[in-house]
Structure 1
Amino acid sequence: MSSSDLTISDRIQRKLDELTRAERQLAHSILENYPASGLGPLTALAKGANVSAPTVARMVQKLGYKGYPEFQAELREELKAKAKNPIAKHDAWAEGAPSGHMLNRFTDAVIENIRQTLGQIDPDQFDTACQMVAEPRSRVYIVGGRITHTLAEYLFLHMQVIRPEVVHIQSTSNGWPHYLLDVKEGDVFVIFDLRRYENNTLKLAEMAHKKGAKLILFTDQWRSPVDRLTDITFSGRIVVPSAWDSNVTSLLLIESMISTVQNLCWGDTKDRAEALEDMFDQTMLFRKFT
């Protein structure tokens, strides 16, 4: 991935191990309210992170910027992109739409999203997330938002077969706090929150985190505010020539997780799948051709 493809959050994550203690303190402060945290004066950012102004200047240069104004200008551009609604997104790509059929243009954008997304995912971290979801002693809670509930439901339907103790939280319902009653320390929440980020999702994550649950987040390149609470975050690229964002990279990661967790649980999964097929036969839900 070229440096021009990276968000400031990406740059910070890549450089964390190279930063001094004070610079890491500043980096975490920026990420807590990213990208809005760096929009004020340099002195305000330094004060908020309890570091010196020279520390801010040094870290900004380590991230590849000539100075704080350049760093701040890119933050503003990210904030604009993060806040776009469907109409604004449509206008942004329609004005400079290249020639060629939409199928080709859309596919090219999706392939680039996949390439960039996979380029920044740590395979070991992905394996750890799958092991967390496969852990039989933990209950798994899956939650999405207004649009991402479709991704959550897709993962939930598969996980229901793969393992027991899986709960789909209907986050758009006023009854979602009820699901938190039985959460215990070590339970796992798989959360979907892509722009536009939802207040209910953040509140649910905060309450689950407070109860000792482990959080896995699927989000976009700008990262949901839930990111500051998570054990593992997967940031997928979502921009395509459309008024709506693409969920293809999220779906790729979901299906990869389903396959991995299925293999980890295969002994029990096989028995569960056979029992389910037997019930399907009894209900005659599906047509038989033999």
Structure 2
Amino acid sequence: MTKPAATVRELMREQYSSLTQSERKFANSLLENYPSAGLASITIVAANAEVSTPTVARMVQKLGFKGYPQFHQALLKELQAQVSGPTQRRANWVTEAPEGHLLNRFSQAVTENLEQTFSNIDSEKFDAAVRQLANTDGRLYVVGGRITRALADYAFTHFQAIRQRVTTMTSSAATWPHYVLDMVEGDTLLLFDVRRYETNLQRLAELAAERGVKVILITDQWASPIASVAQHSFSCWVEIPSAWDSNISTMMLLEAMIAATQEESWTETRDRYERLDELFDMTRLFRKFS
């Protein structure tokens, strides 16, 4: 299986230091409404970014595209990937997947997803997010969407044991204003959002950010729009030979965060583990082996 092509967003980040001031202005304008801001004609996108048409043309070539039409098609393909449903995803795999048993193709896809995910994580940003997750000065809120709420439940179970002041938000968006009501500056919101991106999660993130809450987003390789308000955003590669996307790389990243958060506050966490074990013994929830 060939290595997935870099997204336009990734190309801009890689080349950002080499861009001129006007080219950076266009790049920033595109990132603010990505990828939709680049789907119009070159004259319109230049005018919207308040730069010249030649500026757009030069930046596009710096990213490795022959011209604006090729750049436009790459953005359009990304947009189609973001909104594609299960039927279309499976159709793509049926025509593009290599020969061989599904187990082999699945294994190869998952392995490449893991490699892509972890090779694109900035260790300094990861460490900063972990410090935020371990910071008990504020409350940690955890929420997921239609598919990712299982990841949110998993995260809550572990973080509740690691640290105090952890709240899991229900899957019903109608209840979220009650949580937002109690959010204050310095709190943290760990949020999961993958394609198709959920507008209610985006609004929740915006409301939280307006209150000074630090948003940590775990998303897919196309990046949820929530990335624009998140303090830390992590992309996980998710495509597999299936009508559904995979959560394996997302789970791996989450478990790495859980392990790192545990180590960040190990003295306090060890004490919590010991007291938790005592409570489990008292309730006799688990069978003990001599």
Same fold (TM over 0.5): yes
Q: Distance in 2 between matches of 1:95 and 1:55?
A: 38
- The equivalent residue for 2:210 is 210
Query: Residue 129 of structure 2 contacts residue 216 of structure 2 at CA under 8 Å; is this kept in 1?
Result: yes
1:121 to 2:121 alignment: yes
Match for 1:42: what amino acid? I
Q: Distance in 2 between matches of 1:25 and 1:197?
A: 26
1:54-92 Cα deviation digits (max 9, x unpaired): 111111111111110010011111111111101111111
- The equivalent residue for 1:199 is 199
Q: Could you tell me how far 1:289 is from its partner in structure 2?
A: 2.6
Query: Residue 217 of structure 1 contacts residue 230 of structure 1 at CA under 8 Å; is this kept in 2?
Result: yes
- The equivalent residue for 1:53 is 53
- The equivalent residue for 1:229 is 229
Which is further off, 158-167 or 14-23? 14-23
RMSD after superposition: 1.4
- The equivalent residue for 2:160 is 160
- The equivalent residue for 2:149 is 149
Q: Distance in 2 between matches of 1:188 and 1:103?
A: 39
Q: Distance in 2 between matches of 1:21 and 1:141?
A: 38
- The runs of at least 4 aligned residues of structure 1 exceeding 4 Å deviation read none
Query: Residue 30 of structure 1 contacts residue 37 of structure 1 at CA under 8 Å; is this kept in 2?
Result: yes
Q: Could you tell me how far 1:95 is from its partner in structure 2?
A: 3.1
Q: Which runs of 5+ in 2 are unaligned?
A: none
Q: Could you tell me how far 1:192 is from its partner in structure 2?
A: 0.6
Q: Distance in 2 between matches of 1:177 and 1:95?
A: 45
TM superposition score normalised by structure 2: 0.96
- The equivalent residue for 1:83 is 83
1:215-265 Cα deviation digits (max 9, x unpaired): 111111111000111111111111100000011111111000111100111
Q: Which runs of 5+ in 1 are unaligned?
A: none
1:68 to 2:32 alignment: no
Identical-residue share of aligned pairs (%): 47
> Number of paired residues?
289
Query: Residue 202 of structure 2 contacts residue 226 of structure 2 at CA under 8 Å; is this kept in 1?
Result: yes
Q: Distance in 1 between matches of 2:66 and 2:98?
A: 33
Match for 1:24: what amino acid? R
Match for 2:213: what amino acid? A
Which is further off, 233-242 or 4-13? 4-13
Q: Distance in 2 between matches of 1:112 and 1:17?
A: 28
TM superposition score normalised by structure 1: 0.96
Q: Could you tell me how far 1:172 is from its partner in structure 2?
A: 2.9
Q: Distance in 1 between matches of 2:35 and 2:261?
A: 34
Query: Residue 114 of structure 2 contacts residue 249 of structure 2 at CA under 8 Å; is this kept in 1?
Result: yes
